[in-house]
Structure 1
Amino acid sequence: MEHARPLPTYLVHRYHGWKATAYTENQAWYRRLANEGQHPRAMVISCCDSRVHVTSIFGADQGEFFIHRNIANLVPPHEPDGNQHGTSAAVEYAVTALKVAHVIVMGHSNCGGVQGCMDMCTGKAPALEEKSSFVGRWMDILRPGYERVKKIENEDKRRHALEKQAVIISLENLMTFPFVAEAVEKGTLTLHGLWHEIGEGGVEQYSPTTGGFTPI
């Protein structure tokens, strides 16, 4: 592929630094992971946003989390229509092959994808309405969540509420997957919804009892 180029120098330097320190100091652990395969306890579905780093937030080691990232941490409903579904495939692999005990959906503050959904739903982003927009069609998943919060007058509060709806919608959609519902009913899998406040470092968790989020 003629357009591929060597890594930027700063990334090469960082790699060599990691290989000489973190890898060398934990070489036996890395080799064990390579030889024995992965056995993560949890799957985390988080946003692509570069500011959200779930392994740092939870102090996770290599091999502990099976992580899938996409725009606005969304899970689509179960739709085996023959199209390519990266998120659905990741969920299927985590639950049926890796047998994770937990699936965690983590939303966050100031989410650009959620803001895009708001703009699209209010007519401020006509480009996202185009059938050719990958982001727009992906954010269609969140439209039901916008319908739930659209009457909130304050725009910042409405966006925060929609960020949390992205988590709730994803939890609801997870339960449309037969293998997820079966594992939850058997008690071998639990679902968790989190929202991360980037600036303050806070994490809130969803409570199905109250229908809201509370600090952990």
Structure 2
Amino acid sequence: MRTPKPLPHYLINRYHGWKATTYSENEPWYRRLATDGQNPRAMVISCCDSRVHVTSIFGAEQGEFFIHRNIANLVPPYNPDGEYHGTSAAIEYAVGTLKVAHIIVLGHSNCGGVNGCHDMCSGHAPELEEKTSFIGRWMDILRPGYERVKDIEDEAERRSALEKEAVLVSLENLAGFPFIAQEMEQGMLSLHGLWTDIGEGGLEHYLPETGFVPV
């Protein structure tokens, strides 16, 4: 296979800088992580968006979070159909093997995936309706959320509401995984929904009695 190319020089330089500073100053910690394995307390499901930096938001170190990223931080419904399910596999590993105590779904402002879902469901992105569109078929997960907000008249408010629906739909789907429901019933696992405003640096969490409120 001749497709891969050498790593860009700027990344090589950044690696050497990290190895000479951050790693060198914390070498015992990294060696401990390597030998003892990981023991994260929480799993975070966030968007692929490069502007969403989970560990920075919470000031977390390596080994604290088991992080899974995908388009629009979505969790599909429980459906063990034998197909490829990267997100479901990550969830199964986090709960069944790592025994995390929390699963956090983190949505964000100006989400491109959510905007794509909005345009597709409102008939303005026919290319996403094609069966060959990986993005479109993935964003089908969010269609129930669009149905709940489609009557909001102001478009900006509707798009923002859909970003939070991406969190809620994912929480609803998570609760449908039998092994998650079992852990929750036993008090071993809790689910959390968050939404962050990239520009303002704000963070909101979902509470059933009030909706999304600032933390």
On whether the aligned pair clears a TM of 0.5, the verdict is yes
Partner residue of 1:142? 142
Question: Does 2:91 correspond to 1:91?
Answer: yes
Q: Once the 2 structures are TM-superposed, how far is the Cα of residue 208 of structure 1 from its aligned partner?
A: 1.1
Specify the SS of the correspondent of 2:68. strand
What do the CA deviations read for 1:31-82 (whole angstroms, capped 9, x no partner)?
0000010000100000000000010000000000000000000000100000
Partner residue of 2:5? 5
What do the CA deviations read for 1:18-40 (whole angstroms, capped 9, x no partner)?
00000000000000000010000
Specify the SS of the correspondent of 1:63. coil
Specify the SS of the correspondent of 1:169. helix
Query: Mapping of 1:10-29 within 5 angstroms?
Result: 10-29=10-29
- Number of aligned residue pairs: 215
Partner residue of 1:172? 172
- Give ranges in structure 2 of 5+ residues lacking alignment: none
- Give the TM-score of the pair, scaled to structure 1: 0.99
Partner residue of 1:214? 213
- Give the TM-score of the pair, scaled to structure 2: 0.99
Specify the SS of the correspondent of 2:152. coil
* One-letter amino acid matched to 1:120: M
Query: Mapping of 1:43-122 within 5 angstroms?
Result: 43-122=43-122
Question: Does 2:131 correspond to 1:131?
Answer: yes
Specify the SS of the correspondent of 1:164. helix
* One-letter amino acid matched to 1:143: R
For 2:208 and 2:140, how far apart are their aligned partners in 1? 24
Q: Percent identity?
A: 74
For 1:208 and 1:15, how far apart are their aligned partners in 2? 44
4+ runs deviating over 4 angstroms: none
For 1:100 and 1:208, how far apart are their aligned partners in 2? 22
- Give ranges in structure 1 of 5+ residues lacking alignment: none
For 1:117 and 1:59, how far apart are their aligned partners in 2? 31
For 1:185 and 1:90, how far apart are their aligned partners in 2? 21
Give the aligned CA root-mean-square deviation in angstroms: 0.4
For 1:190 and 1:22, how far apart are their aligned partners in 2? 33
Partner residue of 2:160? 160
For 1:196 and 1:7, how far apart are their aligned partners in 2? 32
